[in-house]
Amino acid sequence: MILRLATPADAAALADLGNRAFVAKFGHLYRPSDLAAFLEESHSIDKVTRELANPGMATAVIEEDGALLAFCKVTYASTLPRHLAAERPFELKQLYTDPDRLGRGLGARLMDWALAEARKVGADVFELSVYADNPDAQRFYARYGLNKIADITFKVGEHIDPEFLFGMVMQPETTA
């Protein structure tokens, strides 16, 4: 398995994986019209292509035999509501794994990449949004030192979900 940065050639595969992973985990929660609107807004090929061209974002993928198994999107300037004092807040936007490949350490590899990326750019806060009724994801992020900072919301079509803002203050790297 290879971890690498995504390229524009990955746009269709990223859109497909994003759609499949979101629907597998959360699709049952929404009216079809809300789900369809969200998927078009967040996981269309056009949206992914724009994100890949955005210098303020990076997307890492894990692939095996040419197939994308997981991906992680980050932004170098967080778009989340400010709840921690930060000059250089960094945001984990999405971390998705193929539904058939869960539990194989792919998320951990991508989380390690995201944290290294945050350190590389000198981020002072690392944050993300996680669905309030997703305790597995919350435990996963807590293992990395992230904690609930605030209650926020997340829009899926016209539906408003309760979310938690998770975050942590990044410790400066020390040199020996």
So where are the chain's domains?
Answer: 2-169
DSSP character for 88? S
Q: Give the global pTM.
A: 0.89
Give me the pLDDT at residue 13, please: 96
Taking the chain, what is the end-to-end CA distance rounded to the nearest angstrom?
A: 32
CA pair distance 151, 94, nearest whole angstrom: 18
Give me the pLDDT at residue 56, please: 95
Low-confidence ranges of the chain (pLDDT < 70): 172-176
Give me the pLDDT at residue 145, please: 94
Residues 6+ apart with CB under 8 A from 111: 72, 92, 95, 140, 141, 144
Give me the pLDDT at residue 75, please: 95
CA pair distance 18, 15, nearest whole angstrom: 5
Domain 2-169, classified CATH 2.60.40.420, yes or no: no
DSSP character for 105? S
- The 3-state DSSP composition of the chain as helix, strand, coil percent (nearest 5) reads 40, 35, 30
